[in-house]
Structure formats: structure tokens, C-alpha cells
Amino acid sequence: MGRREYRIDSAPNPSYPDASKRGHVTVKAFPDADAMKLAIQSGALDMAFTVTPTVAEQLSGVDGLSVKTIDAGYLYFVRPNLQRGPLADATVRKALDLGLDRTAFVQALKGGSVANGLFAHYYSFAGQEKVVTDTAAAKALLDEAGWLAGPDGVRVKDGQKLSLSLITYASRPDLGIIMHIMVSQLGELGIAATTSVVDDIRTAMTGGAYDLAMYAQHTAPTGEPSFFLNQFFRTGGANNLNGYSSATTDGLLDELGDLAPGAQRDAKAIKIQQQIHRDNAALLLVDPQWHIAVSKRLADYQPYCGDYYVVNPQLGLS
């Protein structure tokens, strides 16, 4: 039995200007990056949103196709399980934060920058954290936490090896690239790791059978910080799936809610990010760029940061 095709066929809204000049737009979902690559190469697509860095390089040399690169507006980060396992220990989380080399992730993705906060760098409330790599300090913290190197190089505590379960999801292939490199970096710290790709990352996190969840999120889809911060980091928040709870952070969020947009509110959002980073409730990874392949028909199309407004006024003109 073949894989079911998911598609949306849309027609121009007659209430908008120039509706009569616009054609229909069909949006298709693909099971993986290779399938989408083949579709745009064959002419079955006018846009592949988005493609992996490797596919972007391959398509850049194809006649009739071009690749546009944009700041995604997303954050790639890791959500540690704070309710069970080794990462419930703040010292172990800090060790991981110091042990990860984010520049290797950026290089592998062929674009973007090391994340220094929970929001894209161009926002006025973007974070100002100094994310550094210090392998020696990371190893010292693991020693301090009682995880000592075993005979095979894997750390052991109370007879139990330090092994972490990493999960990611197929719809964000960049995360899989990062996860592969992260396993190697964890190994350098004396940490074993297993990996898996799940269909639904939220369901997997709710089940609790993980240590590190790779995550991608547009953290300011409406251009302001409070929605994401409350959803993900307030005690009991709707998207607080990894069990973070801090009276300090909750209090700061209350104060944020009392402030009007402006410099004071931006400063409060930055302070909240400092506290979250101090607690290592989220391990910052990459402020990414995305690659979008287009045909000649869409040569003038300029994608908007993020994936909320793929169909914009420049798309669908006949």
C-alpha cells in the first residue's frame, strides 16, 4: 500500500486585489527531503520549502532552479528531561551546556549562527548570553556530580553508566544533522548516547522516555516574546513538556505581563532568558538559516522568515 499524499488545493480569495490575475496554489507534503528534491528536479514543483544544506548545494547547479537562503526566525535547541534521569541534576546539565560545540553544528548546516538566546538575533528582545565551549570544565563538572570515567571510557555512577537517550523528529531534518554530531561530542565527554526519530515529538516528550529532545520553534511568530516564554517555561505552561519549574522565572513572567511594549519590556525578556540559561532549562544550539529551492516561475519570490507565510502576495501570480 502506497504512502498517502497530503495536499491542499487553494483558489485566490476574490475579496483581495488582483485576485483575477492569480492562479491556484497547491501545497504538498513530502515524507522526506529526497522525495521533495526529486519532485522539484522533475518540474512537478515550483518551490521546495525547505531543503537540507546538502540538497541546496546540489540544486544550486541545476538549470532552471535557484536556491534562496533566509534567516529562519526559528531557534534550534535541546529540551532536557528535568523530571527523571541524569539531567534532573543541574550540574550535569551545565556540563552538557559547556561540552557542546555549537560552531560544529553551524558548519554542518552551512549557515546560521550560534544561538545566544531564545529569540532570533534581529529582535530587540534577543538574548545576550555568552554560550561557550569548555570541554575541560564540562568534564570537571561531571566528576563533581559523581560521574567518573569507567574502564571503557563511559562515565559511571553507583554502578550505572551515563547514557542519554536523544530524540528528534523527521519534519525538521536539520535537527537530525545536529543530533548526529552531538552524539560524537557527548562521547568525548564520556557519555554514551542512543538516538531515535519519532513521528510526534510532543507525544514522545509527554511519555517521558527520553533525556534530550531536539526541538525547533519559531519563538516570536507575532514579533513579541511573552507567548513563547509563558508557553514553554512557566510552571504548568501548555508547552512546558520537560518539567521546568522556577519561582524566579514565574515571577519575572508576571512582571513581563505588566509591561507595555518598549525598552523595559525588552529588558525584562532578556532577564528571563538569562535565568532560563542559568537553569539550563533549554540548551541553546543554533539561530538557523533555511534554504528554499524555486523554479524560474518563482525567481522573484522572496520568502518571509519562518514558515507561517509561505503563500504571500508574491506567490501565485499568473
Q: State phi, psi for 31 to the nearest 5 degrees.
A: -70, -25
pLDDT tens by residue, 276-300:
999 999 999 999 999 999 999 998 8
Rounded to whole angstroms, the Cα distance separating 131 from 116 reads 6
Name every residue whose Cβ is closer than 8 Å to that of residue 164 and which is 6 or more positions away in sequence: 85, 86, 87, 186, 191, 192, 193, 194, 211, 212
Q: How confident is the model at residue 30 (pLDDT cuts 50, 70, 90)?
A: confident
Q: Average of pLDDT values for 210-232?
A: 96
pLDDT confidence of residue 18: 81
**Residue 169: pLDDT band by 50, 70, 90 thresholds?**
very high
Look at residue 5 in the predicted model and tell me its pLDDT: 65
* Cα(214)–Cα(290) distance, integer angstroms: 17
Residue 168 phi/psi, 5° resolution?
Answer: -145, -175
Which pLDDT value is given to residue 188? 98
Question: What is this structure's pTM?
Answer: 0.91
**Cell digits of residue 41:** 528536479
**90-94, 244-248, 279-283, 304-308, range with the lowest pLDDT:** 304-308
What residue type is 28 in one-letter code? K
> E strands of 143-297, at which residues?
148-149, 155-157, 160-161, 163-169, 192-198, 212-218, 283-287, 289-295
pLDDT at 2: 47
Mean pLDDT of the chain: 93
Q: 104, 186 in Cβ contact below 8 A? A: no
Q: Where does the pLDDT of residue 19 fall: very low under 50, low under 70, confident under 90, or very high at 90 and above?
A: confident
| Confidence grade of residue 318 (pLDDT, cut at 50, 70, 90) | very low
* pLDDT value at 67 more than 60: yes
**Residue in 235, 199, 249 with CA at minimum distance from that of residue 207:** 199
Over residues 113-167, the pLDDT tens digits come to 999 999 999 999 999 999 999 999 999 999 999 999 999 999 999 999 999 999 9
Contact 170, 181 (CB under 8 A): no
Mode of pairing for the β-strands spanning 192-198 and 163-169: parallel
Q: Of the ranges 5-9, 103-107, 216-220, 231-235, which one carries the lowest mean pLDDT score?
A: 5-9
Residue 230 pLDDT more than 90? Answer: yes
Q: Is the pLDDT of residue 317 over 70?
A: no
CA distance 113 to 75: 10
Q: Residue 168: pLDDT above 60?
A: yes
Written as one string, the DSSP assignment of 80-113 is E-SSSSGGGSHHHHHHHHHH--HHHHHHHHTS-E
pLDDT greater than 80 at residue 172:
yes
Residue whose C-alpha is closest to residue 149's, from 185, 187, 123, 199: 187
Q: Is the pLDDT of residue 1 over 50?
A: no
Q: Rounded to an integer, what distance in angstroms lies between the CA atom of residue 267 and that of residue 125?
A: 7
259: which 3 cell numbers?
Answer: 509591561
Query: What phi-psi label fits residue 190: left (phi over 0), alpha (psi between -120 and 50 degrees) or beta?
Result: left
Query: CA nearest 249: which of 262, 266, 264, 268?
Result: 268
Indicate the SS3 state at residue 53. Answer: helix
Would you say residue 314 has pLDDT above 80? no
Give me the amino acid identity at 149. Answer: A
Cell 544561538 belongs to: 115
Mean pLDDT of the 198-218 span: 96
Average pLDDT of span 65-93? 96
Taking every pair of C-alpha atoms in the chain, what is the biggest distance, in angstroms?
73
